[in-house]
Chains A and B, each alone.
Chain A
Amino acid sequence: MSLNRDLIAKRYPDFYYEVCREKVQEFLFAIGDIAPHNDNQSDIVAPPTFASCFAVTKAMKMVIEDPNLGSHNDRVHGSQSYILGDRPIEPGHTLRCRTRISNIYTRNSNEFLEVDVDCYFVDSRDLAVHSTSIIVYLGSGG
Chain B
Amino acid sequence: MTTRDAQSIYIGCILPRIQQQAAIATSVAYAGASRDLNPLHYDPEFAEVHSPTRTPIAHGMYTVAIAGRLITDFAGPHSVLKLQTRLTSPWPLGTIATFIGQIVDLSADEATVGITAFLRSHTVILRGKAVMNLRGNGDISQERWHQ
Binding site for B on A (CB under 8 A): 23, 26-27, 29-33, 35-38, 43, 45-49, 52-53, 56-58, 73, 76-84, 88
Binding site for A on B (CB under 8 A): 1-4, 20, 26, 29-30, 32-36, 50, 60-62, 64-69, 71-73, 76-78, 80-87, 90
A10 to B11, CA, bound (A): 42
Cβ–Cβ contact A37 & B33, under 8 A: no
Give the nearest-CB partner of A56 in chain B: B61
Known: A30-B32, A47-B69, A84-B82. 6 other contacts (CB 8 A): A27-B33, A35-B77, A48-B77, A52-B36, A57-B35, A58-B35
Chain B residues whose CB sits within 8 angstroms of the CB of A31 once the complex forms: 30, 62, 65-66, 68-69
Cβ–Cβ contact B30 & A79, under 8 A: no
Point out the residue from A36, A48, A73, A78 that lies within 8 Å of B68, measured CB to CB: A48
A26 to B85, CA, bound (A): 23
B28 to chain A, nearest CB (A): 9
Point out the residue from A26, A27, A33, A77 that lies within 8 Å of B87, measured CB to CB: A77
Cβ–Cβ contact B29 & A26, under 8 A: yes
Point out the residue from B2, B34, B67, B78 that lies within 8 Å of A45, measured CB to CB: B78
A49 to B86, CA, bound (A): 14
B17 to chain A, nearest CB (A): 14
Cβ–Cβ contact A26 & B33, under 8 A: yes
Task: Tally A-B pairs: CB < 8 A.
Answer: 114
Cβ–Cβ contact B34 & A57, under 8 A: yes
Chain A residues whose CB sits within 8 angstroms of the CB of B67 once the complex forms: 49
A77 to B4, CA, bound (A): 36
Chain B residues whose CB sits within 8 angstroms of the CB of A57 once the complex forms: 34-36
Cβ–Cβ contact A32 & B69, under 8 A: yes
Q: Which 8 A-B pairs have the closest CB atoms?
A: A30-B29, A49-B65, A45-B77, A77-B60, A52-B61, A48-B80, A49-B68, A88-B78
Chain B residues whose CB sits within 8 angstroms of the CB of A83 once the complex forms: 81-82
A91 to B32, CA, bound (A): 18
Give the nearest-CB partner of A74 in chain B: B50
Chain A residues whose CB sits within 8 angstroms of the CB of B32 once the complex forms: 26, 30
A23 to B33, CA, bound (A): 6
